[in-house]
Structures are given as C-alpha cells and as structure tokens.
Amino acid sequence: MGRKYNRVTIRERNASALNLAFVEVKEKGSTVRKAAKKFRVPRSTLMDYLSRDKTDGQGFKLASYSVRQVLSETMENDLAKYIEQCSKLFHGLTTTMTRRLAYEYGIANKVNVPDPWKRDKSAGKDWLTGFLERHSQLSLRTLEATSLARMTSFNRTNLGVFQKKLEEVLLRYQLTQSCIL
C-alpha cells in the first residue's frame, strides 16, 4: 500500500443517523442489526460506537477522522511557526531535523508518541508527509549555506542607498507606480 491512501467508496458517516440508531439501541432496547437497517448506517460502525460508549452523561460523540494524529492541531501550528521563524533567521531545518524536533516537542509536552518514534528518537516519514500537507506554506529543503556577504549586506544603510537611487531614477525618467511591473 502506498503512502497516500485514496478512498474507493464515497460513503460518509451521517452523524444524525448514527445518533438515532445509537439511541434506539441504548434507550429503546432494539437490536444493533435492526437499528442499523432502520437508520441505514453500517452495523459495524454502530457496534464500534456502542462498544466505546462510556455513559458519562455526554451522550453520543462522532469520532474525528484524525484519530491517529500524534500532535494536536495547536501543537502542529506552533511547530510550523517555529520552523518559519528559524527560516527567517537564516537557520532552515532539514526533514531529519524537523522529524527529530517533532519527537522532542511531543516528549516535552508529555504526548503519547508511537513506539517507532521512541525507538528512532524522531517522528516518522509518514508523519512528516502529513504535516507538510497540513501546512502547505512550509517547504523543507536541503540546507544551503547563506554567504556572510549576503546576510551582512542587507542592512538599513544599504537599503537606504538603494531607495535613494530608485527615487532618482523615477524622477529622472518621470516614471509612475503603474509603469513598474
């Protein structure tokens, strides 16, 4: 099986129908098979929800699709912001460094990480693929050294000289903003 799973069927979980079937079985004593047929929901799905039921007074809850997501959405957003910030400070991260960082971040926040993460001391390749899909603004690449001349030459003085020369050219040739593409 490839890394990217494409669903073959178009079946969607109907939360209201599952809820009605759930109530039918729990409160009215109907059989799972009859309730599943009556509300047109998969019997195995209804069985799963009934077996997971811990009547805490919260009622029926439809499980989210991101059951296997290790880091929460907010944690991933924080990680993405950190990676962007590192890039802005001329310290980009490779894929290996990002995977190791995700593992360390999960351990520091006491997240239950999978065993392969613990064994390798880094997140898996599949996690990284999903992370980059969820955060499409990120682009992890092989690091390339930024020359010291390039980093130091972009400063307030040089930028002021550039803007002064640009202003002189615009005045000399009487160019407007619409002329500049």
Full 3-state SS string of 109-133: CCCCCCHHHHHHCCCCHHHHHHHHH
Tell me the pLDDT of the chain averaged across its residues: 83
pLDDT (tens digit per residue) in 71-126: 989 999 999 999 999 888 878 888 999 999 999 999 999 999 999 999 999 999 98
Query: Nearest 5°: phi and psi at 31?
Result: -80, 160
pLDDT (tens digit per residue) in 1-22: 456 777 676 666 677 888 888 8
pLDDT value at position 100? 95
The DSSP call for residue 70 is S
Q: Which pair of tokens denotes residue 160?
A: 């002021």
- Maximum alpha-carbon separation in the chain: 88
Alpha carbon distance 132, 142 (integer Å): 15
pLDDT (tens digit per residue) in 135-157: 989 888 776 777 788 878 888 99
Q: Which pair of tokens denotes residue 91?
A: 């310290």
Q: Is the model's pTM score more than 0.85?
A: no
Q: Alpha carbon of 45 to those of 91, 133, 140: distances in Å?
A: 47, 28, 39
Alpha carbon distance 81, 79 (integer Å): 5
All structural domains of the chain: 15-51 (1.10.10), 73-134 (no CATH)
